[in-house]
Chain A
Amino acid sequence: DAGITQSPRYKITETGRQVTLMCHQTWSHSYMFWYRQDLGHGLRLIYYSAAADITDKGEVPDGYVVSRSKTENFPLTLESATRSQTSVYFCASGGDTQYFGPGTRLTVL
């Protein structure tokens, strides 16, 4: 199916565990983005990627790691999850306009 997908859709983990959120797009967009959405803060950029092997920090990158070895995939890793990383995470792709994946709701206990 064409589009942008995220997995898992829901995840519960414990403080200190490593978690990886997956993002896959079939449009061959060069640009991909990770945002988090929290009440009171709206959507905030965590990391973005302009192309395979090119990534850079956004507004709130601390505690997160990204990689992009293939154009279509852009995984986001929480190296040691904290409660403050409980949020809804959205992946997006596109250049001039951005299209969002369905999101991953992450709870860190």
Chain B
Amino acid sequence: QKEVEQNSGPLSVPEGAIASLNCTYSDRGSQSFFWYRQYSGKSPELIMSIYSNGDKEDGRFTAQLNKASQYVSLLIRDSQPSDSATYLCAVKDMDTGRRALTFGSGTRLQVQP
């Protein structure tokens, strides 16, 4: 069974700090990785996608992928109270043509003003 693991948190960081969110996955053949942000009572919102080893930056967000270690991370620079949410790591299912996502249970981030 494919698994995606995340620390549930909460991860508490002060405003302006760097928040580091981590995720490991079990399927070594996975090729596509995603970070979603979910505010309480809302639906998941796509933040980043990453497909190749290394870093991918988009504004204050940086996704990092290490396929050898089966590890994905999300860095949020200059964290703001509005970043307080649950961050979901997702890995695309490569079996057949399903294209479904397997999600981790999410890490709750709290940014303290």
Binding site for B on A (CB under 8 A): 31, 33, 35, 40-45, 48, 50, 56, 58, 90, 95-103
5 residue pairs A–B, Cβ–Cβ below 8 Å: A48-B98, A50-B99, A90-B43, A96-B32, A103-B43
Main secondary structure of the interface of B (DSSP, over half): loop
Binding site for A on B (CB under 8 A): 32, 34, 36, 42-46, 49, 88, 97-106
**Complex: A101 Cα to B32 Cα, angstroms:** 21
Q: Contacts A50-B97, A56-B98 known; A97 to B46 CB distance under 8 Å?
A: yes
Quote the shortest CB–CB distance from B42 to chain A (angstroms).
8
Known: A48-B98, A90-B44, A102-B43. 20 other contacts (CB 8 A): A33-B101, A42-B88, A42-B105, A42-B106, A43-B88, A43-B101, A43-B103, A45-B101, A45-B102, A50-B97, A50-B99, A90-B43, A95-B99, A96-B32, A96-B99, A97-B34, A98-B46, A99-B46, A100-B45, A102-B42
Q: Is the CB of B99 within 8 A of A97?
A: no
Identify the closest chain A residue to B86 (Cβ). A42
Identify the closest chain A residue to B106 (Cβ). A42
Quote the shortest CB–CB distance from B78 to chain A (angstroms).
25
Identify the closest chain A residue to B6 (Cβ). A42
**Complex: A40 Cα to B103 Cα, angstroms:** 12
| Most chain A beta-carbon neighbours within 10 Å: one of B32, B88, B103, B106 | B103
Quote the shortest CB–CB distance from A101 to chain B (angstroms).
6
**Complex: A33 Cα to B100 Cα, angstroms:** 7
**Complex: A80 Cα to B24 Cα, angstroms:** 37
**Complex: A36 Cα to B45 Cα, angstroms:** 16
**Complex: A58 Cα to B88 Cα, angstroms:** 19
Q: Contacts A50-B97, A90-B43 known; A97 to B88 CB distance under 8 Å?
A: no
